[in-house]
Structure 1
C-alpha cells in the first residue's frame, strides 16, 4: 500500500509522527492496544454483520476429556473451532514450545466439519506439529490451564458459590495458549487462500477468531466440570466475573522476527495508527459526547492499570511511570475540552511534553477511543500485498541508492560495528523446533547460520560497498558483482514508499530487548496485561471484558460501543 493512499484527511495542524521517533524499540516496547487492534476489528465486524454462534458438538466426559465444536456463521461463510480436551498429568504441563502434550488442542476449520473431518482432526490435532492438518484448517493451536485458578473456579462453582474476585483479577484467564499457528504452517491453509474474504482480509483475523472461540471453550469446560462434580448444587459463572476472564498467552522469541521479516506489513500497521492519531489531532472541536467517551476510556484504563501486575524490573518501572502519568493526565483532562481550537492536538502536545513514552502511547489509545467513525476504516488498510514490493529496481543508479541509504538508514550508518557490543548477538533458527532463537556471539555456536535480521549491519555493509563503486553504475550491475546485497537493496528500495517499514535500532546489539518487538506486535493484536518473564518471553491476556460468542446476539447493543 502506498503512503499517499492514506492522505484522504486534510492536514491542518498536525501530521503523522516522524518514523525516526516512532520506530525506536523503546517506544515500540511501550505500545498499547487501540481500537485498531486486530481482535477489536474482528469483534466490530462480527457484531455489525450479525454473525451467529452455535456449539453443535459437546462430547466431553465427566473428567473433562473429549471434543467440542463451535461454529461462527456469517453472511457468506462459516468457520468452526474444533476443540479437544485432554487429561494432562501435571508433570507434562509446560508452556515451552518443546512441550509434546497440552490440556487442550484446537484447529479452526474452514466451514462446518463432517464426522469424517472430526475423526481426521482427532488423529492429528492433539499431536500438534507432530501431526498434519490440511488446507481445510486455517489455524492450529494449543493451550494449558492456569491450574490454580481453573481448579478454584471449578471447585467453587461445584459447591454453588462464585469464585473469589481477587483470584480472578490476579490471573485473568482460565487457560493460556502457547502457540496459535496459521498461514500454511504444518499443512494449514496458506493466507493466500483466504486473503480475498472480507471477514479475514485484515491481519490475523483467523487467529483472533480461533482465540475468541477458545475463550468460550475454557469457560464451558470449567462449568461442565463443576456440574459433573456438584450435580444440582453447581452454578454457572456470574456474568460479571465471566467477563473478566480472557485467554492468556505465553509466547517467546518465535513471534519477534515476524515484524522484521514483513517490513511492508509493519509499515501499514504503524501508518494506519499514525494516520488515525493525526486525524484526531486535526479535529478543531470536541463534542460533549466525544469528551464523555474520553473520560470513560480513561476511567476504564485506570482500572486496567490497577489490575496490571508484573515482576519484571523493566515493566515494574514502566508501570510506576504510567501510574504517575495517569495522575497527571487525570488533572489535565478534568475540564476537557476547555474551548475549541484543536483541543485534541493541545492535549497530545501536552502529553508529548509531560508524559513518559509509556504514558504517551497510552494517551494515543485514549485519543482514538471516541473517534470510531473517523478512524475505524483505516483497519481495512493494514494488510499488505508484499509480492508487489518484491521486485528490485535494477535501473536505479548506485548514486541514487546511496543517497536513499543515507536518507532512510542514517540511524544504521551511525552504528560502529567494529565494537563487539554492536554485534554481540545473532538470530538463528533452532534445528529441533524450527523456531527463532537469539544467540550470544561470544558464547554460542551457530553464528555461521545467522538469519538476516541484523538490518543495521546489512545496511552498513551495503553502503560501504556502494561508496566503492562508480556513481554512474546501475543497481543491476552492482548486484552482479555483489549478489549478497540483494536482500538489503530490496529493503532499501521499499523504504522509499514505506517510511515505517524499518525498526530504527540495532537488533543484534548486546542491550537489545526482544520483548520490545513482542510488545509492539502483541499490542496490535489487542493484548493487555503485558507481563515479561525475561527479556525473551512474556505472558499477556486477550479478549478480557469482550462479549462471548454464544452470548453475542444478546450483547450486540451493549457491546457495540465497547468494541
Structure 2
C-alpha cells in the first residue's frame, strides 16, 4: 500500500495554487454519466434575430427527467460590459429550468433572468447565470464564418472560448431552488452537477449563436464552425473573491474532495505494473497537456513563470517516460521522479496525468465527493479542556511559527459586502470594518483558543468552558472537525499580507474541471471550462465511438 499524501503537504496554499483538473473533476463526472446514460439534447426553440438577440431553449432528456437551459441574448453597450460581479447588464443570461418551460414560463423568465439578482424566481429554476462575449474574438469568428472561412485556429485556441460567464449561481440563491430540491436525484446529486450542466449547455448555445449570426449575414455562403474547433472551445469564466472562502466554510465537503483525489493517487501509485492500455492512455494525456500548455498564456508574471516551468517539466517527463514505466511500481516511480525534480506546478500536473488512464480503478471515488452538511456539527461538550488543547496543538502544529502579533501576519480581514452579500477582503490597518470580520482566520483563532484553554483547568469540560467563553464556539467546533477530517483545513495563514486568494480559487476551480488559469490580480482570475471535451449534443453517440473514458 502507498500512503496518502499528508495534509501538511497537500493543503498548503502554494500547492493549492498549482492544482490541475483530473478525471474526478465534476465536469468529467457529469460527462461520463451523460454518455453512459445517453442523454439527448434538442433545441426546443431557437428564436434569435439577425444580430443574435432573442431567446432559446435547449432541452436535455435524462433517464428520469428533463432539464432545460433557457437562454436570453440582449444588446449591451460596450461601456456597460464588465466581468465584475457588481455589473448590472450582460450580453447573455440563463436559467437551468426543472422540466420543459411552456411559452408563458419562457415569457416570465425573459422578464426576470436578464435582471439576474434583481429578478424574481421560483423553485423551478435550479441555476441562474450570466455571461459576456469575448467581444473582439466573437466578432472575428462571426466575420470569418460569414465570409465562408474558418477563423484563425491559433488565435481561437489561444483564448479558448467565445463567451465568459461572470456568475453561475445555484443552491437557493436569489429565490431559486434550494439544494435539497435536487440532492436526491442521481444525475444532480454530486457536487456542482447542476452548475456544470448549465455551463455545458451554455457552450452549445454560444457556438450555435455565432453560427447563426454568420448565416444571417451571408445565408448563401457562410460556413459553420468546424467540428474540431467547436470541440476545442469551452466556456470562459471570471471568478473572484466571492468564491474564495468556500473551501474554508465547507470543511466536510473540502475533506471529501481532497480525500477522494489523494485516495485515487495512492491506488494508482500502488499498481505493480503499467499495462499497455494504461501506458497508451498516459501518453495520450501527456501529449494533450503539452499542447494545452503551449497555448496557455497569462500576463501574470508568476503564472507565466510557472507555465514555462511546467512546459520544461513535461519535456523532461516525456524523455524519461519509458524508463520510469519499466520500474517496479512504475506509477509510484513516476510520481517520485516528479516530486524530486519538478516544480510544484509540474508535480500537480503529474498527479492528474497519473490518474487519467485508470478510470476503472478510481472513477467510483467520484461518488464519495459529497457531504451532508445540513445536520451541522454538534460540539462534543464532554471533551476536557486539556484534550481539546492537545488536539489543537496536534492539528495546528503547522501554525505554531506564525506570530500574529506582527502586523503582516494579521494584515487582512474577511467580511461580507452589504451591497452584494458576498465575501470581500479588507486591509485591517488601512480600512474600517474589522469589527465585522468573518471567522475565517482559522490559524489565528486556533492558536488563541489553545492559549485560552491553557488558562483553564485541564479536567474541566469544554461545555463548562464555553458557558463562560461563548465567543470560542466557532473555533472549538472547527478544531473538533479538523481532528476527524484532516483535509478539511488549509494549512496557511488566511489573513496574512502575502495571501493570494487566487490560490484558493484555483484549487476549487480545478475540482470543477477548469483549465487555462489566468490570474488577473491576486484576487480574481479567468479560466475555461469544457474546452476539448465532448459537446453535450454528441454524448448520446460518444459511447459507441469510444470517445469518453
Query: What range is the shorter-chain TM-score in?
Result: over 0.9
Provide the C-alpha distance between the structure 2 equivalents of 1:387 and 1:92, rounded to a whole number of angstroms: 39
Q: Secondary structure at the match of 2:120?
A: coil
What is the Cα deviation at residue 197 of structure 1? 0.9
Q: Which residue of 296, 306, 319 maps to 1:318?
A: 306
Q: Which residue of 2 aligns with 1:156?
A: 144
Counterpart in 1 of 2:481? 494
Match of 1:303 in 2: 291
CA contact (8 A) 1:52 1:553 kept: yes
> Counterpart in 2 of 1:278?
266
Q: Does 1:135 align with 2:123?
A: yes
Larger deviation: 237-246 or 22-31?
Answer: 237-246
In the alignment, which of 103, 114, 125 is matched to residue 115 of structure 1? 103
Residue 250 of structure 1 and its aligned partner are, at CA, apart by 0.8
The corresponding residue for 1:5 is none
2:67 is the alignment partner of 1:79: yes
1:362 corresponds to 2:363: no
SS at match of 1:35: coil
Structure 1 residue ranges (4+ consecutive) displaced by more than 4 angstroms after TM superposition: none
Contact 1:285 1:343 survives alignment (8 Å): yes
In structure 1, distance between residues paired with 2:304 and 2:102: 49
Alpha-carbon distance in structure 2 between the residues aligned to 1:455 and 1:59: 51
Tell me how far 1:461 sits from its aligned partner: 1.4
- Deviations for 1:301-360, whole angstroms, at most 9, x for unmatched residues? 101110111110110111121122112211220345214x21111111111111111111
Q: Distance in 1 between matches of 2:446 and 2:184?
A: 35
| Paired position in structure 2 for 1:400 | 387
Measured after TM superposition, the shift of residue 423 of structure 1 is: 0.5
Distance 1:559 1:426, change over 3 A: farther
- Given that 1:64 and 1:87 are in contact with CA atoms closer than 8 Å, whether structure 2 keeps it comes out as no
Distance 1:343 1:490 in 2: 42
- Partner Cα distance (1:105, 1:195) in 2: 25
**How far is 1:436 from its partner?**
1.3
Q: Is the 8 A contact 2:241 2:501 kept in 1?
A: yes
Q: Which digits, 9 at most, give the CA deviation of each residue in 1:513-543, with x for residues without a partner? A: 1010000001000000000011011000000
2 CA distance for matches of 1:355 and 1:336? 15
Aligned equivalents of 2:147, 2:343: Cα separation in 1: 47
TM-fit CA distance, 1:289: 1.1
Partner Cα distance (1:391, 1:559) in 2: 48
SS at match of 2:357: coil
Residue number in structure 2 paired with 1:376:
363
SS in 2 for 1:200: coil
Cα shift readout 1:6-28 (whole Å, capped 9, x = no counterpart):
xxxxxx2x110011111100001
Deviations 1:202-228 (A, max 9, x none): 100000000000000001110111111
Counterparts of 2:283 and 2:125, CA distance in 1: 43
Partner in structure 1 of residue 527 of structure 2: 540
CA–CA distance in structure 2, aligned partners of residues 114 and 70 of structure 1: 13
Q: Deviations over 1:360-396 (max 9, x none)?
A: 1000000000100000000000010123451111111
- Distance in 1, matches of 2:117 and 2:450, equals 41
Q: Is the 8 A contact 2:38 2:541 kept in 1?
A: no
Q: Which of 420, 424, 437 is the equivalent residue of 2:407?
A: 420
Q: 3-state SS of the aligned residue for 2:325?
A: coil
1:33 aligns with 2:11: no
Give the equivalent residue in structure 1 for 2:6: 18
One of 199, 220, 228 as aligned partner of 1:232: 220
Q: How does 1:386-535 map to 2 (within 5 A)?
A: 386-388=373-375, 390-535=377-522
CA distance in 2, matches of 1:210, 1:44: 16
Structure 2 CA distance for aligned equivalents of residues 547 and 356 of structure 1 = 31
| Cα deviations by residue, 1:262-298 (Å, 9 ceiling, x for unpaired) | 0110000000000000000111111111111111111
Say whether 1:178 aligns with 2:166.
yes
Task: Please name the residue that 1:93 is paired with.
Answer: 81
Specify every segment of 5 or more residues in structure 2 that has no aligned partner in the other structure, as ranges.
Answer: none
Q: Which residue of 2 aligns with 1:199?
A: 187
TM-score (norm 1): 0.96
Report the alpha carbon displacement of residue 111 of structure 1 after superposing the two structures with TM. 1.2
Q: Which moved more, 1:408-417 or 1:65-74?
A: 408-417
- The runs of 5 or more residues in structure 1 that have no matched partner are 1-11
Distance, in Å, in 2 between the alignment partners of 1:200 and 1:551 is 20
- 2:45 aligns with 57
The offset of 1:557, in angstroms, is 3.4
Query: How much does 1:559 deviate?
Result: 5.6
More deviation in 99-108 or 165-174? Answer: 165-174
Equivalence map 1:321-340=2 (5 Å): 321-339=309-327
* Rounded Cα–Cα distance in structure 1 between residues aligned with 2:80 and 2:174: 23
| 299-308 vs 437-446, greater mean Cα deviation | 437-446
> Are 2:203 and 1:215 equivalent residues in the alignment?
yes
Residue in structure 1 matching 2:242, options 240, 254, 265: 254
Count of aligned residue pairs for this structure pair: 549
Cα distance in 2, alignment partners of residues 165 and 351 from structure 1: 32
**C-alpha distance in structure 1 between counterparts of 2:543 and 2:241, whole Å:** 37
